[in-house]
Structures are given as structure tokens and as C-alpha cells.
Amino acid sequence: MKKLSSIAIALLIMLSVSSCYTMTHTVGAGAQGTSTTAKKQWYALWGLVPISNVDTKAMAGGASDYTITTQQSFGDGVIGMFTGIVTIQPRTVKVTK
């Protein structure tokens, strides 16, 4: 019983200290306005194999100056807790122009 509770505590700690990340890429002069488009990008095998393809150039709609933000948010982490069982993980891609 003591071993089971130790495993449960270790699992709880691992889930609570998982981190979020954000990567930002600036194209041209960067976003000139506040118009934002967001899509989910899905990966299998813990991020090794892309399932969906997010075309950021198409999301920009022909704009020459925009900012791409790719992030693993808390919400993506919650989704990943359930879909991670079958090795599928999401992340959010936002384009601001």
C-alpha cells in the first residue's frame, strides 16, 4: 500500500510541474494589427509524427508582415493528458497580422 501511495504522489508531482512553452516567429515587420487566427496542430508518438498540417502562410491571408506564435498551453496539456495515452499531443498555432 505504501508503494502505491508513493507512485500516486510521484505521478501527481509530475503532472503538476509539467510546463507550457511559447515560440514566437516574426515575419517581415511583425504584426501590424490585432487580427488573430488560431488552429490546433496534432502530433503522434509524443510529438515526433505530425498528424495535421497548419499552413501559417495561408492563415496570414497574403499579409507580408505577421507574427506566428506556437504554444503548448495549459488547455493543450489537459487535452494531452487524455490523448497522451495513445501518444497524441496537441499544440496551438496563432497568426497575428
Which among 84, 81, 89, 62 is positioned nearest to 12, based on CA atoms? 81
pTM comes to 0.73
* CA–CA dist 70, 41 (Å, integer): 9
* CA–CA dist 67, 56 (Å, integer): 10
Q: What is the mean pLDDT of residues 19-31?
A: 88
* CA–CA dist 66, 56 (Å, integer): 10
- For the chain, what percent of residues have pLDDT higher than 90? 40
Residue 27 has pLDDT above 80, yes or no: yes
Mean pLDDT of all residues belonging to the chain? 85
Residue 70 has pLDDT above 90, yes or no: yes
Q: Can you tell me which residue has the cell 504554444?
A: 71
In this prediction, residue 85 has a pLDDT band, given cuts at 50, 70 and 90, of: confident
**Contact present, 77 and 90 (Cβ < 8 Å):** no
